Amino acid sequence: MAKENNYILIEQIGYTKKIIMNKPEKRNSLDEVMISEMRDYFDEFSTDNETKTIIICGSGGDFSTGFSLEYINKISKYDALENKKDSDNYKNLLLSIYNCRKPVIAMVDGYALAAGCGIASACDLIVASNRAQFGYTEVKIGFVPAISMMFLLKRVSVSNAKDLILTSRFITAIEAQRMGLVNYVIDDNMLETYVENLCKDMNQSSFTSLLFAKEILRNAVNMSFESALSYAADMNVIVRMTEDCKKGMMKFLTKDFSQHIKKKKT
């Protein structure tokens, strides 16, 4: 299944939705319409029953180079209220990615720069090709990646965040992996297959377990250690009461018992 809405292409591969930024002639640069449309898709796929995992990527060999020149020219003329509305639009996109109930994987090939890098930073996992490059380039034009920075700090140390933001330098996928920004680096001709197989493996897991695991991971990081432990214990009780957990435990026990009997007979 595929459907197109302006510069966003949606594909469905089994239980995986693929959100494709589809403006290759401009390296998938962003504007307010693309940002709003992507946010709407993430909100939709977060709660539907047809999606277990989500991939976000760009077409034409790049992830995204951030705001388009036309968009930058437009916001340079905004007043304070217009700037606030526009900033909230981008913030809400990153929050919709970060708070999505389903695992979100950024599949990064080519450039992921500025706001494009911010989108990747908000995802659960980043899988990059060996030709990918990352950079927060905003300070070069007198801007600050204030919103993206908050999500970057959830992935890398303050020291590495300072390095990336203050220098505006581009880094390779390998260096990004060393920093903790990227999870996996894959040969570029195997990138799509690897990510789709990664999602296929996750899709075989319990739907309920994936939802709870994401929720716990998202909430616990903002708590003290003791509060997080109490929260985890409470969530453990809830998860154990779900049908998925009961069926999974019974299946495991039955399989384990059958294997044990078979070994005894041999």
Of 220, 224, 222, the closest CA to residue 212 belongs to 220
Confidence of residue 257 (pLDDT cuts 50, 70, 90): very low
pLDDT higher for 101 or 237? 101
Give the model confidence (pLDDT) of 129-175 as tens digits.
999 999 999 999 999 999 999 999 999 999 999 999 999 999 999 99
Region 244-261: mean pLDDT is 65
**Which residues have CB under 8 Å from 265's CB, separation 6+?**
none
Average pLDDT over the chain reads: 91
Give the model confidence (pLDDT) of 19-46 as tens digits.
999 999 999 999 999 999 999 999 999 9
Of 136, 135, 113, 133, the closest CA to residue 173 belongs to 133
Residue 252 reports pLDDT greater than 80: no
Residue 5 reports pLDDT greater than 60: no
Rg (CA), the chain: 21
Domains in the chain: ranges and CATH: 2-203 (3.90.226.10), 207-265 (1.10.12)
Amino acid in the structure at residue 194: Y
**pLDDT for the residue 260:** 46
**Which residues have CB under 8 Å from 88's CB, separation 6+?**
none
Residues that are catalytic: 138
Residue 51 reports pLDDT greater than 50: yes
Give the model confidence (pLDDT) of 61-111 as tens digits.
999 999 999 999 999 999 999 999 999 999 999 999 999 999 999 999 999
Of 97, 88, 96, 79, the closest CA to residue 32 belongs to 88
Alpha carbons 5 and 172: distance in angstroms, whole number: 32
**pLDDT for the residue 166:** 97
pTM of the full predicted structure? 0.88
Place of tokens 């996996």: 184
* Tokens matching residue 68: 């388009």
**For residues 155 and 183, is the Cβ–Cβ distance under 8 A?**
no
**pLDDT for the residue 256:** 54
Residue 56 sits at φ, ψ, to 5 deg, of -120, 135
CA distances from 21 to 26, 57, 202, 247 (A): 11, 6, 23, 39
Confidence of residue 231 (pLDDT cuts 50, 70, 90): confident
